[in-house]
Amino acid sequence: MNKEKYLEMTDAFLRQTGRDEIPDRITRDLRFCLDEQQKRLKEKGITLHDEFAFIDEAVTGAAEVSQKNNRTPFRGISAYRETVRIRDIYSAGKRIMHRREPVTFYACIVDKQGGGDVPVNCPNCGHASMASRLQEGCPYCGTHFAMSELYPRISSCYCVNNIVERTGLDERLKKVFLRIAAVFFVIFMIIVSVQNIRSGDYPIWAAELFAVLESCLLTAMMTFTAYMAYGFFLIGKVFHQFGSVLPMVTGLSSPGKLKTFMEKYDPQFFVRIFEGKMVSLLEAVLYSENRENLSIYEGNDDFSSFEGLVDLDYRGVFRLRDCRVKGERISVLLEVFTENCYEKGIVKRRNERILVRMERRTDAVTDPGFSIHAVRCGGCGGSFDAMHVRNCPYCGREYHAAADDWVITEIRKKS
Ligand SMILES: [Zn+2]
Ligand SMILES: [Zn+2]
């Protein structure tokens, strides 16, 4: 496996995010989701800026995470980088959150044997180009397409909090505790010398000398206590994190179970593709202001509890709650572990589990080859992203492009 290639994709993603650009080597579902998020933030007058620090000696790597007994041409790769995420959120130009936290960033990448860019002719105007250039629509005639994904692509990503920022930790600790010691010393000096002088037992020079000695001793004791308290604080943090990670253990066997169930209907079913799609579509639906027009959402849920949602962080684990066939459709119910940012004047973060039901026709299968076809509205000839949007944005006519793929039929918070 070419680890370098995947790490490079991951780093490019982080750099582009830091420049407030939409990263380019991502699946179309993820792009759609990021677009919907940008739209929502813009409407609310909010700017969210994430910056990722590239630190020296960061732990990086890439590991294959394909499903067991993988017989598909797809490969799942998890690429990771230790970094510091600096997040700023502005509302109406005023900063309402600034957070700097050590994290490990994970990119879930899907690759395909014999994948990559292919030369194609625009099915509409015949313009010769690479498929990757046509993803956003033909640069000549503006036509949009329904086409296979061009792997490798990042299909989802998430951050795992680290307990401390490892790099330069010793230096920072030294600095902090030197400052604490200095403050303690000054306080003790004042208290002790005032006491000693007041008591009048010693001449002033002796009173001051004792005060210095006593203060040194007290400072040493208190600084040590503070250091111990910091240690307990870290242990507390570890337990806290452990407590929030523990329930996720129940989801560890879910990808395997889902694969076993789905293989009967779709031999090319690949869990990581499904997972990326599920997270992207879930987010897109939650951010969307116009859910009736999403072809990927057929539900009728109450979204009032998601009011103020500005960012959803997938925590990298889902749990399969139920999978069954209902009539001509496969229906799977998933519990998705997320950490979400809500803006209501101030920003609050919450760990939440969201129940998502996804459905697909039983006869729909993953096409491992490459296909492309132009999307044109039968009413007005307009061309648009018909994989995600139900109605032609020009004339309103309904277009059925996504009938073969997964749709979300239900979203609710797990209480
Ligand atoms: Zn064209
Ligand atoms: Zn139309």
What would the pLDDT profile of 396-411 be if each residue is shown by its tens digit? Answer: 988 876 567 899 999 9
Protein residues near ligand 1, an ion, with CB under 5 A: 122, 124-125, 127, 138, 140-141, 143
Q: Decide if pLDDT at 243 tops 90.
A: no
Which residues, by Cβ under 5 Å, contact ligand 2, an ion?
377, 379-380, 382, 392, 394-395, 397
Distance CA 293, CA 386 (A): 11
Percent of the chain with pLDDT over 70: 99
Q: Where are the domains of the chain?
A: 3-166+244-413, 169-243
Least confident piece of the model among 35-44, 193-202, 331-340, 380-389 = 193-202
DSSP three-state, residue 395: coil
Ligand nearest to the CA of 386: 2
Phi-psi region of 181 (alpha: psi -120 to 50; beta: other; left: phi over 0): alpha
pLDDT-wise least confident of 64-73, 196-205, 260-269: 196-205
Q: Which ligand is nearest to the CA of 125?
A: 1
Q: Which ligand is nearest to the CA of 128?
A: 1
Whole-number Å distance, alpha carbon 292 to ligand 1 midpoint, is 29
More confident residue, 407 or 372: 407
Question: Which structure tokens are listed for 289?
Answer: 């202001």
Distance 392 CA to ligand 2 centre (A): 5
- Nearest ligand, CA 381: 2
Given this model, what pLDDT does residue 95 score?
93
Ramachandran quadrant class, 310 (left: phi over 0; alpha: psi -120 to 50; beta: rest): alpha
Residue 274: pLDDT over 70: yes
Asked if residue 102 has a cis previous peptide bond (ω within 30° of 0), the answer is no
Alpha-carbon distances of 147 from 39, 78, 150, 405, rounded to whole Å: 24, 25, 9, 13
Q: Please tell me the number of the ligand nearest to residue 391's CA.
A: 2
Centroid of ligand 1 to alpha carbon of 389 (angstroms) = 21
- Ligand number with the minimum distance to the CA of 382: 2
Residue 401: predicted pLDDT: 62
pLDDT above 90: residue 259:
yes
Task: Measure 332 CA to ligand 2 centroid, in angstroms.
Answer: 33
